[in-house]
Amino acid sequence: MRPLPGNELCYLSIREASQLLRRRKISPVELLNATLERIERLNPELNAFITIAAERALEDARRAQREISRGKNRGPLHGIPLPIKDNIETQGIRTTAGSKILSHFIPDRDADVVSALRQAGAVIIGKTNLHEFAYGITNENPHYGAARNPWDTTRVSGGSSGGSAVAVASGLGFGSVGTDTGGSIRIPAALCGIVGLKPTFGRVSTRGVVPLSVSLDHVGPLARSVDDVSLLLATISSKEHPFRAAAASEPKGKSRRARFTLGWPRNFFFDRVDDEILAAIEAAVKLLEKRGAIVRQISLSHIADSAGAGTNIALAEALNFHQSSGFYPARANEYGPDVRARLEQGAKISAADYLHALGERPRIAAEFNAALAEVDAIVAPSAPIPAPRIGETVVRIRGEEETVRSALVRVSRPANFTGHPALSIPCGTTSEGMPIGLQLIGSHWNEARLLEIATLYESETDWHKRRPS
Q: How far does CA 240 lie from the centroid of its chain?
A: 22
Q: In 10 A of CB 242, how many CB atoms?
A: 9
Q: Is 315 in the site for a second copy (CB under 8 A)?
A: yes
Applying CB under 8 A, among 352, 373, 399, 400 the residue interacting with a second copy is 352
Applying CB under 8 A, among 276, 353, 392, 402 the residue interacting with a second copy is 353
Per the annotation, the verdict on 286 as an active-site residue is no
Q: Closer CB to a second copy, residue 211 or residue 435? A: 211
Q: Is 324 in the site for a second copy (CB under 8 A)?
A: yes
How far is CA 431 from each of CA 261, 411, 463, rounded to the nearest angstrom?
Answer: 30, 22, 14
Q: Closer CB to a second copy, residue 312 or residue 382? A: 312
In sequence order, the 6+-apart residues with CB closer than 8 A to the CB of 129 are 47, 48, 49, 50, 86, 98, 139, 141, 144, 145, 147, 162, 163, 166
Q: Is 396 in the site for a second copy (CB under 8 A)?
A: no
- The bridge status of strand 261-265 relative to strand 218-223 is unpaired
Per the annotation, the verdict on 255 as an active-site residue is no
Q: Closer CB to a second copy, residue 285 or residue 315? A: 315
Q: Is 345 in the site for a second copy (CB under 8 A)?
A: no
CA 340/CA 54 separation, integer angstroms: 33
Q: Is 147 in the site for a second copy (CB under 8 A)?
A: no
Per the annotation, the verdict on 85 as an active-site residue is yes
Instruction: Tell me which DSSP letter residue 294 carries.
Output: E
Angle formed by the axes of helices 28-46 and 54-69, nearest 10°: 160
**Using CB under 8 A, which of the segments 176-184, 297-305, 344-352, 452-460 binds a second copy?**
344-352
Q: Closer CB to a second copy, residue 54 or residue 358? A: 358
Q: Is 316 in the site for a second copy (CB under 8 A)?
A: yes
Site string for a second copy, 398-427 (x = CB under 8 A): ------------------------------
CA 143/CA 258 separation, integer angstroms: 47
Chain length of the chain:
469
Q: Is 356 in the site for a second copy (CB under 8 A)?
A: yes
Contact 113, 219 (CB under 8 A): yes
Q: Is 12 in the site for a second copy (CB under 8 A)?
A: no
Q: Is 359 in the site for a second copy (CB under 8 A)?
A: yes
**444 burial level (CB within 10 Å; 0-12, 13-18, 19+):** middle
| Cβ burial 40-54 (10 Å sphere, 16+ → b, else e) | eebbeebbbbbbbbe
Q: Which residue in 13, 27, 85, 412 is the catalytic one?
A: 85
Taking the complex as a whole, the smallest distance from the CB of residue 137 to a second copy amounts, in Å, to: 22
The residues carrying an active-site annotation are 85, 160, 184
- Could you list the residues that contact a second copy (CB under 8 A)? 312, 315-317, 319-320, 323-324, 346-356, 359
